[in-house]
Structure 1
Amino acid sequence: MDIYLLYLCLGATAGLISGLFGLGGGVVIVPILIFTFTAQGMTQAVLTHLAIGTSLATIVVTSVSSILSHHKHGAVLWTLAGWLTPGICIGAALGAVFAVSISGAALQLAFGIFLCLVALKMAFALSPTGGANMPGRAGQSMVGAVVGFVASLFGIGGGSLTVPYLTWVRVPMKNAVATSAACGLPIAVSGALTYWWQGVGEPDLPDGAIGFIYLPAFFGIIVASTIFARVGARAAHRLPGEILRRSFALLLLIIGVRFIWRNLGV
């Protein structure tokens, strides 16, 4: 199969799942890319970092349409997003630097644990209830730094972290989701640029890579995922949501356990 056709199919799958379950694309894209890069015979020394850097690069593009849609409905709390952004940018850069400093096996182990936590949250619909006051600007920047670090480490847009935090500090769910989408762009930009810069000159990278961003996967995913995310979102209103959510949570748990089991010896 032509490599761009392969990644178009992967992008369609990622977009469909993202639309169905409201998950950020990175939770889907990163494991798919790890499995695909492994099947392509890429070296273990770089394929995990390449998957995460590529995922963040795709989020740079795909997050823009989401932000515009939320902004159109007046749901983004731009002042709050502005408070979070400085910390997010610093944290995302540090997260990428840290990720590149550890082995791919250690990164997969950490990602497997993260997937298991996401799966449990999905399966049992866990969500924090409002119970804290909104911190000041310095506190918001610190929160942003933590979110940016974790999101960049795992190649995600940060929604699985930002939305629970914002609802915990009593931001209405509609605004929390919209503001989280706005925060996903600086996470992706800062993280992707750092993965690109950290990978420049890496001798084990495959043809088609610029730093830790693999262009065939990047282009295939951004073309197909946006289209199929809309398809998935429409289908979500017609399918049995509870069964689908728990089934996908089980799949994420299986993938997470697989990553943990394969890399326990690191």
Structure 2
Amino acid sequence: MAWIILLIVGFVGGTVGSIAGLGGGIVIVPSLLFLETSLGVISNMGPQIIVGTSYLVLIATGLSSTIAYMKQKKVDFNSGFIFFIGSGPGAIVGALINRFFETDQFAGVFGLLMIGISLLMFFTKSIKPIGIIKTGKLHTYTDENGMSWEYKYSTILAIIICFFIGILSGLFGIGGGSLLVPIMLLLFGFPTAVAIPTSMFIVFLSGITGSVTHVSLGNVHWLYALALIPGAWFGARFGAYLNRKLNEKVVVTIFRLILIIIGFRMVINAIIG
């Protein structure tokens, strides 16, 4: 039964993560916490093992969705490698910091992070790019309807920002896309059609560095990871397909509400013990 549940969790995480460029960890991590602390379906986890296991799954999610989006020619590989210069080392630092968290502390802080991300996603949809980035190489993208988009960013600023996003990613096992996509949209003016696929490419690269660190620290439950990965792989492919079919605003609104509800629940549980 546990394997079937984990397979479903992986599929849902991969699907949602691929649709919105979040990576999937934002679904997998709280799900694993709930399955252990509230339902007792799984055991021998704890925040370090949960994050490490989630990070290993992010490799499958990121690679699967990147392949799917690559066929749609929506991945900005040059920007992805530049952002990875910051997010890769950051993920290693975050993985090292993670070992100092207890379960209740982790759940509470992670719940606050989920609430913050949901609010950030709200502003992403409500505020136009603020346009403070005036330097950097100009990038262009032409969508399926023939519309052209332009965006630019400062390489140094992007690397610095991605380093701190990488820390949070390695600390909480969320992949970083949930923070990276809003930054790409608001600060750098990326079109959504490019930001989400490129974010998943960065999730894949950062997933490798973060996973190596977590594996070296013994923070991976291999059996549970093997149950999650197949679902995450096919979920990511499915999410990339849905990204082209569904109304993006509806998907993001529903997901944002889910984040708020789960986030408040985790915070309350952490407070009352």
Assess same fold via TM > 0.5. Answer: yes
* Range 101-110 or range 146-155, more displaced: 101-110
Determine helix, strand or coil for the equivalent of 1:263: helix
Letter in 1 for 2:117: V
What is the percentage of aligned positions where both structures have the same residue?
A: 27
Q: Distance in 2 between matches of 1:59 and 1:117?
A: 21
Q: Distance in 1 between matches of 2:76 and 2:252?
A: 28
Q: 1:72 to 1:232 in 2, by over 3 A?
A: closer
Q: 1:176 to 1:109 in 2, by over 3 A?
A: same
Q: Is the contact made by 2:53 and 2:224 (CA closer than 8 Å) also made in structure 1?
A: yes
Question: Please, which runs of 5 or more residues in structure 2 have no aligned partner?
Answer: 137-152
Q: Corresponding residue for 2:78?
A: 79
Q: Corresponding residue for 1:152?
A: 170
Q: 1:244 to 1:129 in 2, by over 3 A?
A: closer
Q: Does 1:225 align with 2:232?
A: yes
Q: Does 1:131 align with 2:149?
A: no
CA apart distance, 1:116 = 0.9
CA apart distance, 1:64 = 1.0
Letter in 2 for 1:224: G
Q: Corresponding residue for 1:42?
A: 43
Q: Does 1:216 align with 2:223?
A: yes
- Note the aligned Cα RMSD (angstroms): 2.9
Determine helix, strand or coil for the equivalent of 1:212: coil
Q: Distance in 2 between matches of 1:41 and 1:230?
A: 27
Matched pairs, number: 251
Q: Distance in 1 between matches of 2:248 and 2:190?
A: 25
CA apart distance, 1:28 = 0.7
CA apart distance, 1:58 = 0.4
Letter in 1 for 2:43: M
Matches within 5 A, 1:45-64: 46-64=45-63
Determine helix, strand or coil for the equivalent of 1:156: coil
Q: Does 1:257 align with 2:264?
A: yes
Matches within 5 A, 1:88-127: 88-122=87-121, 125-126=125-126
CA apart distance, 1:176 = 2.2
Could you give the per-residue CA deviations for residues 221-260 of structure 1, whole angstroms, max 9, x where no partner exists? 2112332444556667777876664444333212111211
Q: Is the contact made by 1:96 and 1:152 (CA closer than 8 Å) also made in structure 2?
A: yes
Letter in 1 for 2:129: T
Letter in 2 for 1:132: I
Q: Distance in 1 between matches of 2:61 and 2:42?
A: 28
CA apart distance, 1:63 = 0.9
Could you give the per-residue CA deviations for residues 89-117 of structure 1, whole angstroms, max 9, x where no partner exists? 21111111111122222221111011112
Q: Is the contact made by 1:132 and 1:170 (CA closer than 8 Å) also made in structure 2?
A: no
Matches within 5 A, 1:236-247: 245-247=252-254
Q: Does 1:191 align with 2:210?
A: yes
Q: 1:127 to 1:36 in 2, by over 3 A?
A: farther
Q: 1:239 to 1:72 in 2, by over 3 A?
A: closer
CA apart distance, 1:128 = 5.3
Q: Distance in 1 between matches of 2:24 and 2:270?
A: 24
Question: Please, which runs of 5 or more residues in structure 1 have no aligned partner?
Answer: 199-210
Q: 1:78 to 1:112 in 2, by over 3 A?
A: same
Determine helix, strand or coil for the equivalent of 1:112: helix
Letter in 2 for 1:139: L
Q: Corresponding residue for 1:181?
A: 200
Q: Distance in 2 between matches of 1:47 and 1:13?
A: 21
* Range 74-83 or range 122-131, more displaced: 122-131
Could you give the per-residue CA deviations for residues 132-169 of structure 1, whole angstroms, max 9, x where no partner exists? 22454433321221121111122122222222222222
Letter in 2 for 1:226: W
Structure 1 runs, 4 residues or longer, greater than 6 Å off: 235-241
